Amino acid sequence: MKYAEIETQKELKHLFRKPGDIIDKVAFQDVDLTEFEEDVFRFYFSNCIFLGCKINDKIKSHIGDENYIFPKLNVPYNIYPNRLYDRFDLYGEYELGKPETYEQTFDKTVYNHFIETGKEADSIKETLARRLHDHSITDALYDFLEKYDEKKVVAIMGGHSLARNTDDYKMVAKLSKELTEDGYLMTSGGGPGAMEATHLGAWFAGKPDEELQEAFKILDQAPVYKDKLWMDTAMQVIDKFPNNEKYESLGIPTWLYGHEPPTPFATKIAKYFANSVREDGLLTIAEGGIIFSPGSAGTIQEIFQEITQNHYLSFGYASPMIFMNKKFWTQETPVYNYIQDLVQKGKLKNLILSVCDTIEEIKTELRKFYS
């Protein structure tokens, strides 16, 4: 049973202008029905779902028992968000030049609540609120992805500790800039390090390379996320080089790692409570391929999760697995060699593997797959 979704007041107004007197199988999410009280009484509602909507007693009585009303819960976040977050939602209270104001932001407020109520909360109200929130984020995520060719969605994985002043960080940013300009939607885990570099590059799509170089100089002042000015230098770059609205990128972070703030360079942010849902979801949507920059335990885990999806053709076909930095993946952390050995022994199938040292090599692999 497919439901139509109403997520804005504009959509609600349009729905109430339709002919007829029955509204059937519609999911209303975080909208204010009291604004259209007279219109509500013109219709008979059947099999409808109301998620966190503003409803008075008269409307509730009219809707009746043939529908499902899910109320809001008393937590410091909306459990039915009808769109993805952006930097204004997460960091709207942040003041440039005052790093201490991060403590006042929505992102930090929710993280504090997450820690206070427990990473594995004991309260059924809290666990339910988190699940409903994450369900709504997933719904908003797939709404957002509808406008993109699935084989043009590419993820970059890599370590959160990758410093801004390293060659690998800057290569990821330049790669992401070029791929965004080529029409790819770049996505990552949305945190610092290689993840931030992904969104920094997408932020500078359509801008001169000289401006990206200038941004590097600003960011180099606070190389890692533990630096006091990590967020402030990012905000300086954003303030100096406004985003070209033609280009977007998608960050998918989690409050489980809330001590690592999500990068504000991601124009769309699908932030989750459940890291398992977030991690698997990120690998799932990147059907255009995944680029693995140097990383440690988390990145290696993601490599083998992606291998599983590709080996079993979980989504109908395998996507490219591109390892960036040949020395790292074949000598320092020889994961690539191990995977190749398993392929040659017939233990793994359907994998599209490559190891690359240059941006052009990576772009060639992605173009080959897309064509």
Q: According to the model, what pLDDT value does residue 339 have?
A: 98
d(CA 30, CA 33): 9
CA angle 145, 278, 251 (to 5 degrees): 55
Q: What is the pTM assigned to this prediction?
A: 0.97
List, for the chain, all residue ranges whose pLDDT scores fall below the cut of 50.
none
As beta bridge partners, residue 85 has: 269
CA nearest to 343, candidates 368, 318, 303, 311: 311
Q: According to the model, what pLDDT value does residue 125 have?
A: 97
> Which residue, chain included where needed, has tokens 């009585």?
61
Q: pLDDT, tens digit, for every residue of 119-173?
A: 999 999 999 999 999 999 999 999 999 999 999 999 999 999 999 999 999 999 9
Which DSSP string corresponds to 6-71? Answer: E-SHHHHHHHHTSSSSEEESEEEES-BGGGGHHHHTT-EEES-EEES-B--HHHHHHH-TTSEEE-
Q: pLDDT, tens digit, for every residue of 258-301?
A: 999 999 999 999 999 999 999 999 999 999 999 999 999 999 99
d(CA 266, CA 252): 9
- Listed by start position, the domains of the chain span 4-70, 148-370
Q: According to the model, what pLDDT value does residue 212 have?
A: 98
Q: How far is CA 4 from the centre of its chain?
A: 24
As beta bridge partners, residue 249 has: 186
Is the CB of residue 237 less than 8 Å from the CB of residue 219?
Answer: yes
- Under CATH, what is the fold of the domain 148-370? Rossmann fold (3.40.50)
Q: According to the model, what pLDDT value does residue 296 have?
A: 94
Query: For residue 258, what is the enclosing H or E element?
Result: none
